Amino acid sequence: MERRDFLKRAGLATAATLLTSGSTLAFDEAKDIRPGNIPRWYGFNLLAKFSGNQPNRKYDEEDFALMQELGFNFARLPMSYWNWSKPEVDKWMDINEKVFLDVDQAVNFGHQYNVHINMNLHRIPGYCINGRGLEPIDLFYGPEKDKALEAAIYHWRYITRRYKGIPNRRLSFDLLNEPPVTPNENYARVVRALVEAIREEDPKRLIFADGINVGRDPVPEIADLGLVQSCRGYDPMQVSHYRASWVPGYTPDSWPKPSWPFTDKNGKTWNKEVLRKEKIDPWRPLMKKGVNVHVGEWGCYKYTPHEICLSWMEDFLSLWREMGWGWSLWNLKGDFGIFNSGRKDVNYENFRGNQLDRKMLELLQKYRA
């Protein structure tokens, strides 16, 4: 089937504009989603605005159509503020609104294909897990941290006003990506300030906050705010990020070829029960307080042997299903994804012009419910 015919059959009138910035769309507010009772969302991260190096890169309509066809309902949009602003402190309050037309379109695609949109600031003024030192002021440390926080608040206020009135069932916010290893109080201070600003603009907006320690650990200090907390599914990194050159400390000789279960260089054996003990159980006290948990990112890089990758993925997926947690794989298309991942040990299937990893897709579909 041609791509154009596929999209037509999926039911999208591309030129339709369902979102008018700042407008309130009619919906039954009483039936909207509230913190503490979110659906079990599962899907993918979409990376069009991820780096900030390609501000004009648009979200691909086909991605939303594919998600709907294959039975997924969640798209996390990790975005860098560099797409619509500049890293210089004196430019932080300048926002190029035209860039947000692409984000508007993603929100429209989500509505038309029944995919929930979760907007995340992967790079926020003052912080990014990748290239943190490129920010002129640090959001968490230093005498000028309040200046970075002021800019972060400014950007979230703009985003909140722009999308005010869109139901939570369609749209949520994820404050910032993967906060560092820092005292929880430092992070909680930032979260509280951002949440207060968002709720001044849109009191009922559904908000996610990533766990501390790069998303790994729960944050009880913000449990009273009525947020979803977002965790990660990347451990052990020697399995999920084998041969990933961007991982700090990685060298080709430093990590052995992964297996599953996996014994690391310190003699620790990782298996499903270790994942349960270390990556699931610490979140249970938070859940007892009524806090929902969602896995904002996870996945396995293309160089991990495919059968090892799938075995590791299934253990995580089965644990998350036990807990009722949703998840979003890092890629739909790309090195971690079900399409066009470039693995050498996969017999790909041509699907709508993309190279589909059918085994990985069927594994994800198995654990949707």
Give me 79's structure tokens.
């975005």
Encode pLDDT of 147-191 as tens digits: 999 999 999 999 999 999 999 999 999 999 999 988 999 999 999
Which residues share a beta bridge with 172? 118
Q: Return phi, psi of residue 174, to 5°.
A: -120, 115
Closest CA to 201 of 174, 168, 172, 161: 161
In sequence order, the 6+-apart residues with CB closer than 8 A to the CB of 99 are 49, 55, 56, 83, 84
Can you give the pLDDT at residue 20?
42
More confident residue, 361 or 22: 361
Q: Is the pLDDT of residue 22 over 50?
A: no
Average pLDDT, the chain: 93
Can you give the pLDDT at residue 251?
79
CATH topology classification for 42-367: TIM Barrel (3.20.20)
Give me 308's structure tokens.
């090892």
Torsion of CA 272, 274, 277, 278, to 10 degrees: -120
Give me 180's structure tokens.
């560092």
Q: pLDDT-derived band of residue 25, with 50, 70 and 90 as boundaries?
A: very low
In sequence order, the 6+-apart residues with CB closer than 8 A to the CB of 167 are 25, 27, 29, 32, 33
Closest CA to 192 of 170, 218, 215, 219: 219
Question: Which residue blocks in 143-214 are alpha helix, DSSP H?
Answer: 145-162, 184-201
Indicate the burial class of 253 (C-beta count within 10 angstroms; 0-12, 13-18, 19 or more): exposed
Q: Which residue has the tokens 């994804």?
A: 337
Give me 309's structure tokens.
């990758």
The pLDDT of 53-68, averaged and rounded, is 96
% of the chain exceeding 90 in pLDDT: 85
DSSP-assigned states of every residue in 304-367: S-HHHHHHHHHHHHHHHHHHT-EEEES-SBSTTSSBS---TT---EEETTEEE-HHHHHHHHHT
More confident residue, 265 or 139: 139
Q: Domain locations in the chain?
A: 42-367
Q: Is the pLDDT of residue 50 over 70?
A: yes
Can you give the pLDDT at residue 250?
78
Q: Are 297 and 43 in contact (CB under 8 A)?
A: no
Encode pLDDT of 263-288 as tens digits: 988 899 999 999 999 999 999 999 99
In sequence order, the 6+-apart residues with CB closer than 8 A to the CB of 257 are 242, 305
Q: Is the pLDDT of residue 1 over 60?
A: no
Can you give the pLDDT at residue 256?
87
Q: Is the pLDDT of residue 307 over 80?
A: yes
Q: Is the pLDDT of residue 21 over 80?
A: no
Q: pLDDT-derived band of residue 249, with 50, 70 and 90 as boundaries?
A: confident
More confident residue, 143 or 12: 143
